[in-house]
Amino acid sequence: MPQWRKHSFMELIKHTLPKSERISRKLILDKIFVEGKSFVVYPIRVVYLTSVELQEAPVAIVVSVSKKRFKRAVKRNFVKRRIREAFRLNKHKIELPASLKNVAIAFLYLSTELKEFETINGKMEAIIDQLNKKLCSENS
């Protein structure tokens, strides 16, 4: 069942993260890490690339947690779920300039310890604010 949240302007926003908003093509992944720009809001490193061909959604993401930092797949998947959930709840705040068609974003978890969801969610808000500033300044 989709989750709906009312905002102050009384508009309903559907908070989902469909398959089209997840990056799975190796070609796009390689391009992000070769040509993309990055910044860090600890414990997450963000690598983003604007105007990606072959991408339907305006914003698409991929989340990566290193096996070097978390040996057990259970913990890696747990961290990925937290990051995806934080993005899902905050993605409506991303403001793409009119000149941009789409953006691909990779989130890389850097810490060796598990963080609380509130911490990750707060960092995700900071990431989206910083990403908005960078996208606006690049396309001005």
> What pTM was computed for the model?
0.89
Q: What percent of the chain has pLDDT over 90?
A: 77
> Which domains does the chain carry?
19-138 (3.30.230.10)
* Angle, helices 117-138/73-90, rounded to nearest 10 degrees: 60
What string of DSSP letters covers 24-72?
A: --HHHHHHHHHH-EEEEETTEEEEEEES-TT--SSEEEEEEE-TTT--S
Tens of pLDDT, residue by residue over 33-43, are 999 999 999 99
Collect all residues with Cβ–Cβ distance below 8 Å to 127 and sequence separation of at least 6: 41, 44, 46, 107
> What is the pLDDT, as a whole number, of residue 31?
95
Check whether 132 has a pLDDT greater than 70: yes
Gap between the terminal Cα atoms of the chain? 40
